[in-house]
Amino acid sequence: MSTPKRTPKCPICASPVALRPENPTFPFCSPRCRQVDLGKWLGEEYRVAVSAAPEDEQEDELASHDGQSEDDPFHRMH
């Protein structure tokens, strides 16, 4: 027994969305919803979570590397 296929929904308006190649705006239902989504990203309504390293770790890393690599031939010459 197979499970019925679920039709994807537009993340903006929740309308049913046709799959590619029938729908060049996938995963959106229309160019309008695609533009609305872009506007939300540009307006900073959406954010990507970033975990910042504690400041102590950042300072230790900067102090130990001083911007140079051990494998850098210029670094070894001086």
Residue owning tokens 């919803």: 33
In a domain, 13, yes or no: yes
Answer yes or no: is pLDDT of 78 > 80.
no
In a domain, 1, yes or no: no
Q: What is the greatest pairwise CA distance in the chain?
A: 72
Residue type, 64: S
Q: Against a cut of 0.85, is the pTM above it?
A: no
Domain count, the chain: 1
Q: Give the pLDDT score at 64.
A: 59
Answer yes or no: is pLDDT of 25 > 60.
yes
Q: Give the pLDDT score at 49.
A: 87
Q: What tokens appear for 76 in the block?
A: 């070894």
Q: Give the pLDDT score at 59.
A: 63
Which residues are CB-neighbours of 29 under 8 A, at least 6 positions away? 10, 12, 13, 15, 16, 17, 18, 23
Q: What is the arithmetic mean of pLDDT over 54-77? A: 60
- Residue range(s) defining the domain that contains residue 45: 7-64
More confident residue, 53 or 8: 8
In a domain, 24, yes or no: yes
The answer to whether 23 touches 15, Cβ cutoff 8 Å, is no
